[in-house]
Amino acid sequence: MPPFKSKTQKKEIRSDEEISIDFAKNSSYTLMIPMKDAQYVRVRNPITGKDPHFSTSDTLFFDLLIELSNKGLQSKIEEEFSFFAQKYNSAWSDIKNNFNIYKESLNESS
């Protein structure tokens, strides 16, 4: 006998990536995991499930944040920068500024 299907039950039409991004947006978990004196960070990538380790001055760190921002996580990233600056280390404000400068420089070169 086939399983019962409710008339209100709808098939999920979003991709796995869209579901992962939406989960990350609404999750209470942070994308970034701050480490020693705001010099290092791990970034949980909701798409790949990996959490690579970066120096906070590394352009690869900024590139990953730009990729995640473009997928819809910009406001979550901005909130985390502000939260880390308030709760952990004020150096996170400088990292946020460096990130924004890096983004602007990429936009100008395109």
pLDDT in tens, 21-65: 888 888 889 999 999 889 999 999 999 999 999 999 999 999 999
Instruction: Please say whether the beta carbons of 55 and 61 come within 8 A.
Output: yes
Of residues 4, 1, 22, 2, the one with CA closest to residue 12: 22
Confidence band (pLDDT; 50, 70, 90) for 11? low
**81, part of any domain:** yes
| Phi, psi torsion values for 100, nearest 5 degrees | -65, -40
**8, part of any domain:** no
How far is the C-alpha of 46 from the C-alpha of 86, rounded, in Å?
25
Which pTM was predicted?
0.81
Name the average pLDDT for the chain: 89
**19, part of any domain:** no
pLDDT in tens, 78-101: 999 999 999 999 999 999 999 999
Task: Tally the domains of the chain.
Answer: 1
**16, part of any domain:** no
